[in-house]
A and B are shown apart, each in its own frame.
Chain A
Amino acid sequence: MSTEAASGNPFDLDLPWCLDDRVAVRPEPFGALLYHFGTRKLSFLKDTTVLAVVTGLAEHPSARSACEAAGVTGQALPAYQRALATLAGSQMIRQRPPAPRRAPR
């Protein structure tokens, strides 16, 4: 799997990100299901850690800090960076303006 989103840019962990407004998140025992009402795409989060990362994005100044808050650091980080790149490539998550800080929805 590539660390690059569909745009061809590497996923930047140091930028602020959030879920797209048109994405619904449904927790499941194994993790969660995401559904994008605009693209009609479904994604599967395979564990609760990635769910915590994704749902925490909007409340952190960067994806890296959302990962840290969910306990994802060091050698675990690249796998989550790839997952975030995939989610960005399919518009499930998007960059948000760096400032002012977006209020949690």
Chain B
Amino acid sequence: MSAAPDALAEQFQYGLAAPICLTWELTYACNLSCVHCLSSSGRRDPRELSTAECTALIDELERMQVFYVNIGGGEPTVRPDFWELVDYAVAHRVGVKFSTNGVRITPQAARRLAASDYVDVQVSLDGATEQVNDAVRGPGSYRTALRAMANLAAAGFSGFKISVVVTRQNAGQLDDFAALADEYGAQLRLTRLRPAGRGASVWHELHPTADQQRALYDWLVAHGENVLTGDSFFHLSGYGRALPGLNLCGAGRVVCLIDPVGDVYACPFAIHESFLAGSVRAEGGFAGVWRESELFATLRRPQSGGACASCSAYDGCRGGCMAAKFFTGLPLDGPDPECVRGHGAAALAAAGEVTPPRPAPDHSRGGGPVPVTIGRRRPPAHACDESPLAGFADHVV
């Protein structure tokens, strides 16, 4: 796949009429307590959206033509109305991908899932071996995931996803994960460890080393579009060739997060009041937040590359991930903490003992939006770019 075309990336920077997809954390309740949980999940929030509020939100997503929602949590399947909501979304042509640790993927549930084109499943697995997985996700979680995978395979659900957060401990297991995916007729999805939620506490020990990052990049380039990434490794495009995908921070422009109580954040990795755009419970609903939030308007304005503007890798990495910078205490207009040129590591070392912002699981607080700056405006599109399709047409999402 060729480099991301400037013309469309340019358009996307200024936001879309509606998100392409959005992440919807249905509940903070979870049977596990993974050390790196983005949403610090565990206990259900009593203010969770009701079934009626959820179906009303789906109606709104249908009106906005949001193609699909990534449902997560917590463990979304523990909500008693989970299957009802999936059926409702599908009936309203809002596709569903949901992430699960597999606890409720019984043979019966697997058969039900296999029957629909409009539902996709991501089983989370953070080690290709029980030892590596369970150290992060907790005792028994590997077996739970593999049982779910076996049930899905037996039900004939081909192409479900095995979703792996790449860590220092499993970065050497990429081929093993690929083999597991083949064995179960699944597709491998690798995503970046973010220092969000509980992940902020363990990021320094769990995030891949510089050498592992380089090996990961080479592996991703070699495997192309057969491996999904949710575009999460665009900071690695600073190595040279762009990875498949949009290669830009989509926060508030292409994606966003709706949390269990209806709060809307710029992205799933930024559950903090600095990135809180509004609530679906407010008068304008979700559409009002998407279209009128001051925070989102700020994110969609032309950006300055700040400290990164003069770097030759900037066109590839675009300064990296806003959330990764924020939760490691780095300035948002500087390098990503995992900058491939090492500028992030240097910045972290220079910052010394500065305490980074803490993830904020208290969703009752609605601080005003904080202006943030990420990435600079792209150069104008090439005049000779004549194809009416984008160069990354057929991007698999």
Binding site for B on A (CB under 8 A): 1, 22, 24, 26-31, 33, 35, 37-47, 49-50, 79-80, 82-83, 86-87, 89-90
| Cα(A90)–Cα(B394), bound, Å | 7
Contact, CB under 8 Å: A30 / B120: no
Residues of B close to A37: CB separation below 8 A? 67-68, 93, 95, 117-118
Contact partner, A86, options B18, B117, B120, B389, Cβ 8 Å: B389
B312: Cβ under 8 A from any A Cβ: no
How far is A30 from B15 in the complex, measured between Cα atoms in Å?
A: 11
B388 touches which of A26, A33, A41, A45 (Cβ 8 Å): A45
Q: State how many angstroms separate the Cβ of B382 from the closest Cβ of chain A.
A: 12
Inter-chain contact A41/B11, CB cutoff 8 Å = no
- Interface status of B155 (Cβ within 8 A of chain A): no
Query: Chain B 385-397 against A: per-residue CB contact (8 Å), 1 yes, 0 no?
Result: 0111110111111
| Total A-B contacts with CB atoms under 8 angstroms apart | 87
Q: How far is the CB of A35 from chain B (nearest CB, A)?
A: 4
Decide if B178 is an interface residue (CB 8 Å cutoff).
no
Least Cβ–Cβ distance between B397 and chain A, in angstroms = 5
B354 adjacent to chain A (CB < 8 Å): no
Dominant SS among interface residues on chain A: mixed
Residues of B within 8 A of A47 (CB): 388
For the complex formed, measure the closest distance between the CB of B302 and the CB atoms of chain A, giving whole angstroms.
16
The residue that B390 contacts in the complex, of A26, A41, A46, A89, with Cβ under 8 A, is A46
Chain A residues, Cβ within 8 Å of B392: 44
| B395–A41 touching, CB < 8 Å | yes
Residue in B18, B20, B387, B394 whose beta carbon sits within 8 Å of that of A41 in the complex: B394
CB contacts (< 8 Å) of B117 on chain A: these are 22, 37-38
- Which residues of chain B have C-beta atoms less than 8 A from A39's C-beta? 396
Residue pair B390, A44 in contact (C-beta under 8 Å):
yes
Encode contact with A along B16-53: 1 for CB under 8 Å, 0 otherwise: 11101000000000000000000000000000000000
Instruction: Compute how far the CA of A30 lies from the CA of B389 in the bound complex, rounded to whole angstroms.
Output: 11
Let me know if A44 and B65 touch, CB within 8 A.
no
Residues on B with C-beta less than 8 A from A29 are 11, 17
Residues from chain B with Cβ under 8 Å of A83 in the complex: 387-389
Known: A40-B68, A86-B394. 10 other contacts (CB 8 A): A26-B67, A37-B67, A41-B395, A42-B397, A43-B395, A46-B387, A50-B389, A79-B386, A83-B387, A90-B393
29 contacts across the A-B interface (CB closer than 8 A):
A24-B67, A27-B17, A28-B11, A29-B11, A30-B8, A30-B11, A31-B388, A33-B16, A35-B95, A37-B93, A40-B95, A40-B396, A40-B397, A42-B396, A42-B397, A43-B389, A44-B392, A44-B393, A45-B389, A46-B389, A46-B390, A47-B388, A79-B386, A79-B387, A80-B388, A83-B388, A86-B389, A87-B393, A90-B393
The answer to the question of B372 belonging to the interface, with a C-beta cut-off of 8 Å to chain A, is no
Nearest 7 CB-CB pairs, A to B?
Answer: A50-B388, A44-B390, A35-B67, A90-B394, A26-B65, A30-B11, A43-B393
- Complex-state Cα separation, A28 to B93, whole angstroms: 19
Nearest-CB residue, chain B, relative to A47: B388
- Most chain A CB within 10 A, of B18, B67, B120, B397, is at B67
The one of B18, B118, B389 that contacts A26, using a Cβ cutoff of 8 Å: B18
- What is the chain B residue whose CB lies nearest that of A80? B388
Q: Of B65, B388, B394, which contacts A46 at CB under 8 A? A: B388
Q: How far apart are the CA atoms of A28 and B20 in the complex, in Å? A: 11
B85 at the interface (CB under 8 A from A): no
Whether B20 and A42, one on each chain, are in contact in the complex, defined by CB atoms closer than 8 angstroms, is: yes
A71 to chain B, nearest CB (A): 13
